């Protein structure tokens, strides 16, 4: 099969990582994968992996942007020329474009629902879910069948997959001390806590800073690394300054290579406030045998046992988060056991191989049904 992925951009984030991992898995299965996008910070990474990138799409988040419809004839000509026989959309813009391509050319398409989406008027008037929908968690599947009235047989839960071997290879190439020096982390910082996500209110950065403020009083050699960008970054930086945490917090900005952050991390934390459908960075930390603290808002928490493979706290509870982090700070044995048990779960349930096998089966089902 020749598969064309449609996504708004290739900036650092969960969707880009998903497309990259899936394209490599499909290559191992003997299929060709390309990406129709507007480029982004990860474009070079795709090109180095010999995943063709076609930057035809305008950079927009609106399915009503007139530029999309001006370039639709060009997209159809391109798809016909390259002889793609299956589309896979990952964003609302990608879904709508794929819907028009199917209408005009008869090419089937699949969509992946990566996040909890809102039932806006446009989505209700023109759903554009495609021939089949992949939900990255059971909760998302329930949302699609209940709120958007999709038939149960049209939605399949397939969890995101982590390319464990690739992550581990990247980690071996990293020098912890060099990265610490480049980021200006003082040598006397004995424990480094990190978080990786877009900096928006729902990710809970303010709660994390509140927890750090409590911990620093007892453990002044702690250090927090915050990786990510977003509209709330300046606000979060201001809070860190007001709490006088400047010397114990480093904002690294966006990273194309998450292994840089993971290489210096002793404890990973994701203080999400609600609705984390998969939590890619959580799974990546676990794949690298780094102990994780997160909240009960994590949709995959049922696969993990609290205090056996992860520490779970209530969302928005800075005191509870501080207590959980402190327990890991002082208990190295617990850190090791959580990391080991979580790694086994990721390997067995959330590997790239498992995801690739399931999605290939779905691709064939849709492709041959429409052939």
Q: What is the pLDDT of residues 264-322, one digit of tens each?
A: 999 999 999 987 767 889 999 999 999 999 999 887 887 888 999 999 999 999 999 99
In this predicted structure, what is the pLDDT of residue 336?
97
Buried b (16+ CB within 10 A) or exposed e, 34-50: bbbbbbbebbebbeeee
Structure tokens at 138: 């059971």
**CATH among 3.40.50.2000, 3.40.1370.10, 3.40.710.10, 1.10.3720.10 for 164-349:** 3.40.50.2000
Of 75-79, 118-122, 155-159, 277-281, minimum mean pLDDT range: 118-122
Q: 186: helix, coil or strand?
A: coil
Query: Which residues of the chain are in CATH 3.40.50.2000 domains?
Result: 2-161+351-370, 164-349
Residues 6+ apart with CB under 8 A from 49: 20, 23, 24
Q: What is the pLDDT of residues 238-252, one digit of tens each?
A: 999 999 999 999 999
- Is the model more confident about 172 or about 257? 172
- Is the model more confident about 336 or about 149? 336
Q: How confident is the model at residue 258 (pLDDT cuts 50, 70, 90)?
A: confident
In this predicted structure, what is the pLDDT of residue 256?
66
**CATH among 3.40.50.2000, 3.80.30.20, 2.60.40.10, 3.40.50.720 for 2-161+351-370:** 3.40.50.2000
In this predicted structure, what is the pLDDT of residue 11?
83
- φ, ψ dihedrals at 214, nearest 5°: -70, -40
Q: What percent of the chain has pLDDT over 90?
A: 76
């Amino acid at each position: 099969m020749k598969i064309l992925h449609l996504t708004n951009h290739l900036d650092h984030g969960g969707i880009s990582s998903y497309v990259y991992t899936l394209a490599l898995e499909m290559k191992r299965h003997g299929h060709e994968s390309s990406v129709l996008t507007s480029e982004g910070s990860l474009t070079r990474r795709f090109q180095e992996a010999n995943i063709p990138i076609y930057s035809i799409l305008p950079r927009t988040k609106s399915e009503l942007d007139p530029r999309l419809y001006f370039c639709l004839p060009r997209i159809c000509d391109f798809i016909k020329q390259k002889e793609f026989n299956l589309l896979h959309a990952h964003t609302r813009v990608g879904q709508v474009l794929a819907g028009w391509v199917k209408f005009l050319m008869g090419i089937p398409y699949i969509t992946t629902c990566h996040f909890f989406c809102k039932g806006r008027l446009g989505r209700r008037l023109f759903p554009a879910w495609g021939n089949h929908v992949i939900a990255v968690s059971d909760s998302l599947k329930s949302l699609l069948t209940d709120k958007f009235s999709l038939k149960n047989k049209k939605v399949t839960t397939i969890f995101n997959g982590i390319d464990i071997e690739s992550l581990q290879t990247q980690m071996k190439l990293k020098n912890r001390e060099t990265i610490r020096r480049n980021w200006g982390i003082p040598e006397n910082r004995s424990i480094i806590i990190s978080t990786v996500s877009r900096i928006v209110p729902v990710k809970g950065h303010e709660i994390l800073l509140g927890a750090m403020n409590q911990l620093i009083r007892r453990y002044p050699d702690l250090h927090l690394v915050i990786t990510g960008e977003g509209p709330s970054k300046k606000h979060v930086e201001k809070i860190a300054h007001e709490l006088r945490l400047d010397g114990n917090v480093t904002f690294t900005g966006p990273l194309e290579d998450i292994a840089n952050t993971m290489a210096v991390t002793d404890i990973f934390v994701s203080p999400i406030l609600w609705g984390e459908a998969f939590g890619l960075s959580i799974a990546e930390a676990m794949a690298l045998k780094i102990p994780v603290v997160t909240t009960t808002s994590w949709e995959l928490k049922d696969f993990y046992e609290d205090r056996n493979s992860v520490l779970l706290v209530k969302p928005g509870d800075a005191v509870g988060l501080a207590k959980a982090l402190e327990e890991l700070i002082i208990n190295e044995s617990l850190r090791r056991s959580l990391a080991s048990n979580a790694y086994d779960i990721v390997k067995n349930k959330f590997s790239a191989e498992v995801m690739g096998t399931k999605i290939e089966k779905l691709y064939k089902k849709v492709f041959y049904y429409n052939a």
